[in-house]
Structures are given as structure tokens and as C-alpha cells.
């Protein structure tokens, strides 16, 4: 434990030499196209050493840098008709799949979890300014909207030769060897199941390999972090869904789930559970709804699972804060249970808002004192382990 605290203190000293340039939670770029990571680091005032940037780039060349949760170019919005226009300002940037893929390649990303949104057509901005479910589904609406988003995902694959569909663990190194980005289909909210257990196998056949049980709507599977409890945790249907996901080889994702829901899902699952995008709360600053207590995080780790550290502007203001939060999570659950979950193109005031910044994360983790093996685990090896265990059916 003392060694890990020393790492954070070392990072603080390292960052003290230059102030991070940030505007509204996003980086102020020195130019539209930066030729080298050294220029990027210099423009951000991070002062990352050229040696650790070289080590980080070499690391990402051999490890499939993995993002457990993202919405590239807002692909899930393509073709939508019934949506709340108030959500538009919350989107990080306009949709441009070519730009998103180019940014992924430039930043040496290896695997991206492309997330459809199960409760999309119910969402809007609530009176308090936060996103949430503001209307109900009619029967069949959720399934129809899932089909729309699945079509958008397939269109992204068809239109981007640099993307390769990930269905099984061996597809990951194959995509990396081919110089492509591995695209793994996931869903944020199992609302489209509509209480029908047979649909779990249907979406598996569609290529879905990770399912986040709940999102911003209290659905048929369980309670969420941002609304008062309705089910007192995981429902009987939610339990059956988790068991069927284990049977088929779909990763169980408990992001957005209340602690009681997540804890119950972890107890039911016989496979490692993931929490794709969150980070620890700070008691002294108020534990906001979407963040985790230590016990919440440890429940995921005890399954052998992983937590994607989330660069949201909830309590973070700079990229340096994000690195510190990643290290804090390492302290609580161990390096074997930490990963990356950016929520790219759908995040709230992101402090990491372009994949071209990706090499800075391993570089700064190396600067903090983590070993290359430890950084490799965070950047992709932990995901590979969990994916292999979950798909071993």
C-alpha cells in the first residue's frame, strides 16, 4: 500500500512542473494535427518524458489497448426519429465515423466496445439538468430501436475497412496483427429484452458480446444508481438473464447499476463481471450518484472482473486527475482489476476526449512508477483475460 501511495505522490511531483491546459473539461489543442506524441504532451503542459512516450507507444504496439465503453461518432443515433432534442448539447462532438476511426488508429487503440443504447428513445434531459428516462416505451419500441442501432453498427463495420468485428478472444490478436481496430458490440441497458429471455440468445447471434444490464431507465432487470430503488436490486428476470449470459459467453456489465443490483449480479454470475465505466467517489467531495464506494468496486474485483476507469468531468477537471483516479482505483482493487472505459463521444465534460491522447495514459502511468507489466494489464491484458474466461463455455 505504501508503494502505491508513493506512486501517486511521485505523479503529483511530476505534474507540478507544468499546468494542464484545459477548457470546459476538454483539452486546448496546439493544432488540429499533431505530428508526434511529444508535441501533444508539450502542448498540454504534461512534460511526459520522451523515453516514457516511446515505451508507451511500444507497449500499445504489442498490447491491444482496450476501451470497455464508447459510442464512436454517435453511430447509435443514426436513423433515429423519436428522440429528445435537448440531448444534443450533451453529445461530445458531431458524428464522423471516418474521423473517429482515424483517431483510434493514430492513438493506437486496439479494441473498442461499440455501445448501442437500450433505452435511447425514452431519454431526455430532466428538470434538474441530468439525463434520464422522460417517457415510456410502447410494447415493441425498445426491440425495434435496438434493431435500428444494430443496423447502424453493421453499417459502420461495412463502411470502415479498418474495423474488424470481435466475436471471440482469438479475434483480438488477429485484428491487431492486421492493423485494424477490433469492434466489439455491447449494449447500454437490456431494455430491448422486454422481459423475453429468449432474446439473450438472439442478441448473441447478432454478435453482441457484452451487455450492460441497466442504463438511465429502471428496467425489467434491476435498479439504477440515478433513480430511487424499485426492485430492491436485481429482479428474478435479471438473475435469469445473467445466468443465460454466462451460458452463452456474454460479459455481464453492471455500470449504472445500483450497488444492490451490482452486488446481486456478482453473486449470481459464475464468470467475471465488468463495470465498464466509472471510478471511485471522494467522500470529502460528496459521493455523486454515478461513482463507486470502495465496497462497490471490490464486489466487481472479487468476481475476477474489471472496472473501466471513466474520464468524466463529474469530479475530474484534468487529464492528470484521470491518471490519479486510475491509480487510486489500483490501490483499492489491485492492478488486475483496472481497465479503461472512456464513454468516448457520449461522456460528460470529458477530460480525455480524443483517442489521439491514448498514449499519454500508459506514459503517465509509467511515469508514476507502475511497471510495464502492470500498465499492460490496465491497457488491455485484463480485458483479454476476462474475455477468455467469459467465453469459455
For residue range 100-129, list pLDDT tens digits in order.
Answer: 999 999 999 999 999 999 999 899 888 887
The answer to whether 307 and 338 are in contact (CB under 8 A) is: yes
The string of DSSP letters for 150-191 reads HHHHHHHHHH-TTEEE--STTHHHHHHHTT-EEEEEEEE--G
Q: How far apart are CA 125 and CA 134, in angstroms?
A: 7
For residue range 350-374, list pLDDT tens digits in order.
Answer: 999 999 999 999 999 999 999 999 9
CA 164 to chain centre: 19
Rounded to two decimals, the pTM is 0.89
Q: What is the pLDDT of residue 124?
A: 85
Q: What is the pLDDT of residue 127?
A: 85
Q: What is the pLDDT of residue 6?
A: 41
Dihedral of CA atoms 336, 259, 188, 161 in degrees, nearest 10, equals -10
Rg over alpha carbons for the chain, rounded to the nearest Å, is 20
Q: What is the pLDDT of residue 373?
A: 98
CA 318 to chain centre: 18
Q: Are strands 26-27 and 273-278 parallel, antiparallel or unpaired?
A: unpaired
Question: What's the burial of 148, exposed, middle or buried (CB within 10 Å: 0-12/13-18/19+)?
Answer: middle
C-alpha cell recorded at residue 93: 462532438
Q: How far apart are CA 258 and CA 170, in angstroms?
A: 33
Own/partner pairs, 91-95, CB within 8 angstroms, 24+ separation = 91/345, 91/346, 92/344, 92/345, 92/346, 92/347, 92/350, 92/353, 93/345, 93/353, 95/345
Q: What is the pLDDT of residue 87?
A: 57
- Structural domains for the chain: 2-390 (3.20.20.140)
Low-confidence ranges of the chain (pLDDT < 50): 1-35, 43, 89-90, 92-93
Q: What is the pLDDT of residue 49?
A: 86
Amino acid at each position: 500500500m505504501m508503494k502505491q501511495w508513493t506512486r501517486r505522490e511521485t505523479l503529483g511531483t511530476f505534474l507540478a512542473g507544468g499546468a494542464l491546459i484545459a477548457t470546459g473539461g476538454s483539452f486546448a489543442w496546439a493544432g488540429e494535427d499533431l505530428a508526434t506524441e511529444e508535441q501533444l504532451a508539450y502542448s498540454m503542459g504534461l512534460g511526459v518524458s520522451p523515453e516514457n512516450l516511446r515505451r508507451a507507444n511500444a507497449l500499445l504496439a504489442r498490447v491491444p489497448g482496450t476501451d470497455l465503453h464508447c459510442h464512436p461518432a454517435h453511430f447509435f443515433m443514426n436513423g433515429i426519429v423519436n428522440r429528445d432534442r435537448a440531448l444534443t448539447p450533451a453529445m461530445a462532438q458531431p458524428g464522423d465515423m471516418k474521423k473517429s476511426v482515424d483517431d483510434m488508429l493514430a492513438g493506437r487503440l486496439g479494441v473498442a466496445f461499440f455501445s448501442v443504447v437500450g433505452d435511447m428513445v425514452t431519454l431526455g434531459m430532466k428538470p434538474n439538468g441530468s439525463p434520464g428516462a422522460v417517457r415510456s416505451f410502447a410494447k415493441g419500441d425498445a426491440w425495434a430501436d435496438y434493431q435500428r442501432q444494430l443496423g447502424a453498427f453493421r453499417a459502420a463495420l461495412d463502411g470502415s475497412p479498418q474495423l474488424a468485428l470481435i466475436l471471440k478472444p482469438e479475434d483480438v490478436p488477429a485484428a491487431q496483427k492486421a492493423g485494424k481496430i477490433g469492434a466489439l458490440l455491447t449494449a447500454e441497458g437490456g431494455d430491448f429484452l422486454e422481459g423475453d429471455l429468449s432474446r439473450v440468445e438472439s442478441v448473441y447471434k447478432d454478435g453482441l458480446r457484452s451487455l450492460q444490464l441497466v442504463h438511465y431507465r429502471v428496467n425489467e432487470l434491476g435498479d439504477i444508481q440515478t433513480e430511487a430503488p424499485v426492485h430492491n436490486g436485481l429482479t428474478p428476470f435479471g438473475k435469469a438473464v445473467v445466468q443465460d449470459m454466462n451460458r452463452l459467453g456474454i460479459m455481464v456489465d453492471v455500470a449504472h447499476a445500483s450497488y444492490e443490483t451490482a452486488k446481486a449480479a456478482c453473486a449470481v454470475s459464475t464468470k467475471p463481471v465488468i463495470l465498464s465505466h466509472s471510478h471511485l467517489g471522494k467522500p470529502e467531495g460528496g459521493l455523486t450518484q454515478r461513482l463507486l464506494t470502495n465496497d462497490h468496486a471490490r464486489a466487481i474485483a472479487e468476481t475476477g472482473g474489471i472496472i473501466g476507469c471513466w474520464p468524466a468531468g463529474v469530479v475530474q477537471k484534468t487529464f492528470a486527475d484521470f491518471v490519479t483516479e486510475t491509480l487510486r482505483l489500483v490501490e483499492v482493487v489491485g492492478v488486475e482489476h483496472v481497465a479503461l472505459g472512456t464513454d468516448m463521444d457520449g461522456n460528460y465534460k470529458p477530460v480525455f476526449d480524443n483517442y489521439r491522447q491514448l498514449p499519454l495514459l500508459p506514459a503517465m502511468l509509467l511515469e508514476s512508477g507502475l511497471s510495464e507489466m502492470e500498465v499492460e494489464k490496465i491497457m488491455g491484458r485484463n480485458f483479454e483475460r476476462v474475455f477468455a474466461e467469459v467465453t469459455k463455455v
